[in-house]
Amino acid sequence: METFVGWTKGKIAKKQNHDSKNGILYLKGGDLSEELEKYTSATIYILPDFFE
């Protein structure tokens, strides 16, 4: 995750065009708790909640 976040640094628009806060959508499976420890503002969306 740290490498990916570095690749996107400075590339996220500051102006929002919707209700959701701008950021990174990163599709990945498995237990992400350890990998996301340092990203305290991360939100995890459970895909089956949005897609069949």
pTM: 0.62
Structural domain of 6? 1-10+25-52
Question: Does residue 17 belong to any structural domain of this protein?
Answer: no
pLDDT for res 21 = 86
Question: Does residue 31 belong to any structural domain of this protein?
Answer: yes
Token pair for residue 1? Answer: 């995750």
Token pair for residue 33? Answer: 């708790």
Question: Does residue 4 belong to any structural domain of this protein?
Answer: yes
Give yes or no for residue 24 having a pLDDT over 90.
no
User: In the chain, how many domains are there?
Assistant: 1
Question: Does residue 29 belong to any structural domain of this protein?
Answer: yes
Stretch 26-42: mean pLDDT: 89
DSSP per residue, 29-49: -S--TTTTTT-TT-----GGG
